[in-house]
Structure 1
């Protein structure tokens, strides 16, 4: 079986700024298989946009290399200019040309094509993004979501090796953002396009990306699927940043892990060296069960339509969260029965 081609390879990349002793990006390595959508996810200032700008060719690395489509693009002594990288970029503010029509915006990067080829490509993309009857309109006549799709189509038009999306949904309202995230993923998949999204919003990352890299303080903490990041975080930072959850104090005995909600077998193959631990408990690990002798008190509740997110106080005063179907409408201060249903045991050394 042949090895799939790589759209992007980052090899021990570091990026520093003059006057700063700490690199903005530190020794990052990962590979992106062609046709894959990836996401750089992390809090503000973690280095994700710096890394994206380096991939685009706007910044030079202080160490390491960038390869796109198997060709070396950046080393500490040599950086191929952005226009020669065959990379499409979708910016946060869309950056459409206001004096050009929608169709002219899409065809902007196709000046070397024959007119009939330009028209065929732009008409195909207009149909793909659901705006086939709006090619003659101008950007100011479109909604924010429509403008974003035009910006994506313009980036796709020259059939680049890689698409880079820099916080593309941050100016949109929540409902439109959720819908457009799925639409953009469908468009990229229809074009068999490789892409990297930069965002601080994990819901965007989960909805759109096949693989996610979590960054913090310039370091790539973990690279993997959303499932792996949520259920198998490799560090306390990733466990705390991804999803919702709390850490409860626990203790390792010879045969099990003991904590307030019960005893759990030590996971097979787990390297748990410390005796004093913190165990990660997600809202989906706590099941509402009226028959359970284990009681917790409702101290906060957030209605989400299909369910409530309850914050519960345990007997010790520690808090956990639980997702409960919305027909179980309990009052603040009411005790309810709960039980633990934990499939992924994640522990970390006590802070």
Structure 2
């Protein structure tokens, strides 16, 4: 569905969206189409344009060029602009933005002012039950935990039955364990309801685990779109590879379909001229401990125990930067001790230096 214009039946279609703030091009010709019931994650470095795109979709900000279609109807373009409150787009903010003077039930019903009081109350009760927060109905936001506030914000966003739900870093204020649990519950709820959603995150692990598709952005542009597996296993640029997983970048020379580096020679399909510069991007899990009579000699500089995995920083002669090794095995080595390493070529990605 990526990048196609006027996709039939698409809840949301973006066509050539651009936005400039002074000398900064925040969004640069972004086109994207979202399928019904699809959860799409926008991810990228801070300042890449993720939140700017959400604001334009919601109507809080306007694009300098391009247009937006909601269920096939133009809601923003050169000659049209539908006000945010008339777009039927749900929005979950990072800080939840609950009204402190309203109860949970009143917060959820707040966006239902076009319904009669009786209808609004019934719809609010229905969504509250669906989210499983009936016990919170009469309470005020300041008495709720962060996870409870997040669930209330979700119920309020879903109550008007939006065409699409926009979520801007909705789990970032929660502690890690709670964040994962609330995120899983939220995504399960959205899938059960068939809700179409866009989630903005700076966390590549969150994007890879949550999104039906991941949209990777850089400097206002969409640089790669695909499933989490697609873009992790086949990143189309050094930026994508290094953003999605910390890599050991080693410079090499392209010769006869291979890239020669101080760590070894790796097959590559780059179409570079002979002698052209390239980078081998070696994922930390591709570095493996070997016996003393095989592999590359290295020196352990630091060792970090991270629970599920262990990470070593090692120095190899001829390589300027320290290399990062990650493994689920327990390694009985200390900083300053020598080791030997082999490299799993399946964990090496090759890119042109340009």
Mark yes or no: TM-score above 0.5. Answer: yes
2:287 & 2:245 partners in 1: Cα distance? Answer: 15
What is the deviation of 1:230? Answer: 2.3
Structure 1 residues without counterparts, runs of 5 or longer: none
Which one of the candidate residues 89, 95, 98 is aligned to 1:96?
Answer: 98
Alpha carbons 2:247, 2:284 under 8 Å: kept: yes
- Give the corresponding residue for 1:122: 124
User: Residue 302 in 1 paired to residue 288 in 2?
Assistant: no
2:271 & 2:347 partners in 1: Cα distance? Answer: 15
- Give the corresponding residue for 1:197: 199
Q: 1:251-270 counterparts in 2 under 5 A?
A: 251-267=253-269, 270=270
Which one of the candidate residues 13, 16, 27 is aligned to 1:9?
Answer: 13
Which one of the candidate residues 40, 43, 61 is aligned to 1:41?
Answer: 43
1:128 & 1:321 partners in 2: Cα distance? Answer: 45
| 1:220-251 C-alpha deviation (Å, 9 max, x unpaired) | 22222222332322222222222111211122
What is the deviation of 1:255? Answer: 4.3
1:263 & 1:159 partners in 2: Cα distance? Answer: 56
1:233 & 1:288 partners in 2: Cα distance? Answer: 26
2:300 & 2:239 partners in 1: Cα distance? Answer: 28
What is the deviation of 1:57? Answer: 0.9
Aligned length: 345
1:345 & 1:272 partners in 2: Cα distance? Answer: 18
Change in 2 beyond 3 A, CA 1:303/1:128: farther
What is the deviation of 1:37? Answer: 1.0
- Give the corresponding residue for 1:177: 179
What is the deviation of 1:143? Answer: 0.2
1:265 & 1:317 partners in 2: Cα distance? Answer: 20
| 1:128-171 C-alpha deviation (Å, 9 max, x unpaired) | 33323221211111101110111011101111100011122232
- Give the corresponding residue for 1:332: 335
2:243 & 2:205 partners in 1: Cα distance? Answer: 12
For residue 194 of structure 2, give the secondary structure of its aligned residue in structure 1.
coil
Alpha carbons 2:262, 2:319 under 8 Å: kept: no
Name whichever of 191-200 and 218-227 sits farther off. 218-227
CA RMSD of aligned residues (A): 2.2
Could you tell me the TM-score, scaled by structure 2's length? Answer: 0.89
Change in 2 beyond 3 A, CA 1:140/1:204: same
Q: 1:48-67 counterparts in 2 under 5 A?
A: 48-67=50-69
2:126 & 2:290 partners in 1: Cα distance? Answer: 54
1:79 & 1:288 partners in 2: Cα distance? Answer: 60
Could you tell me the TM-score, scaled by structure 1's length? Answer: 0.90
Structure 2 residues without counterparts, runs of 5 or longer: 1-6
